[in-house]
């Protein structure tokens, strides 16, 4: 039995230009989720995520021709717009955004328990883990945070992330590594995590 063909983004965009409302609804429902979640992970605020989602699709309504299929897929274009909106809103709201709680003690609990003997969430509830990691991500500098959100949370390839961020793939690689290092540092109390192992090792080995 033949299944109905799902229209491509390009086909939907053509219909949108012609004023087809169901086409816009279909395109919006197809892509709003990752735009919203990207903004949510970047800002930690549902209000910002909501506003970013509105602005991104409103811009698409106003200027459908602004998207050039030759430059990449529509979702990359939308993510790029979402990123710009997030940066704009974060810059605007910065004076009013409360400092992210470092939660050093809790973070120590997190990492040591996450890696505890094949039982990652034995003593630390899942919600606590989620809360602590999210706080640590939000405390990262923006340019590390956006790479982490794209590559780890939205599971884009490095090349796809580079397209969204309009930077070389090598930059994505290095920022991802650096971002992870910073994140682990935030989630670790130096000297407590695996301290026994570190003590025995002392200095870096070059085996």
The enclosing H or E element of 202 equals none
Nearest to other proteins of 2, 199 (CB atom): 199
- Residue 199: C-alpha distances to residues 168, 180, 187, 195 (Å): 39, 23, 19, 6
Structure tokens at 48: 């910002």
Q: Which of 138, 152, 167, 189 binds other proteins (CB under 8 A)?
A: 152
Q: How far is the CB of 103 from other proteins (least distance, A)?
A: 13
Q: Site residues for other proteins, window 66-105 (CB under 8 A)?
A: 92
Q: Which stretch binds other proteins (CB under 8 A): 1-9, 68-76, 161-169, 193-201?
A: 193-201
CA 191 – CA 93 distance, rounded (Å): 36
- Residue 28: C-alpha distances to residues 61, 65, 71, 100, 193 (Å): 10, 16, 20, 32, 45
CA 116 – CA 129 distance, rounded (Å): 13
Q: Which of 9, 53, 146, 165 binds other proteins (CB under 8 A)?
A: 53
Contact footprint for other proteins (CB under 8 A): 19, 21, 24-25, 28-29, 32-33, 35-37, 40-41, 49-51, 53-55, 57-58, 61-62, 92, 110-111, 114-115, 120, 126, 129-130, 132-134, 152-153, 155, 176-177, 180, 183-184, 187-188, 193-194, 197-198, 200-201, 204-207
């Amino acid at each position: 039995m033949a299944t109905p063909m799902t229209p491509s983004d390009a086909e939907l965009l053509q219909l949108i230009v012609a004023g087809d409302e169901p086409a816009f609804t279909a395109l919006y429902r197809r892509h709003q989720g990752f735009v919203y979640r990207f903004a949510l992970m970047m800002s930690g605020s549902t209000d910002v995520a909501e506003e970013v989602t509105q602005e991104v699709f409103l811009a698409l309504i106003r200027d459908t021709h602004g998207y050039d299929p030759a430059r990449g897929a529509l979702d990359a274009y939308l993510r790029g717009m979402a990123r710009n909106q997030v940066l704009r809103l974060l810059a605007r709201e910065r004076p009013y955004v409360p400092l992210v709680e470092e939660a050093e003690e809790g973070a120590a609990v997190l990492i040591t328990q996450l890696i505890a003997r094949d039982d990652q969430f034995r003593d630390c509830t899942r919600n606590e883990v989620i809360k602590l990691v999210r706080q640590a991500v939000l405390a990262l500098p923006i340019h590390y945070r956006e790479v982490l959100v794209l590559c780890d949370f939205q599971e884009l390839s490095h090349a796809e992330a580079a397209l969204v961020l309009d930077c070389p793939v090598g930059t994505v690689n290095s920022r991802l590594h650096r971002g992870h290092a910073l994140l682990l540092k935030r989630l670790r109390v130096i000297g407590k995590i695996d301290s026994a192992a570190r003590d025995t090792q002392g200095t870096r080995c070059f085996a």
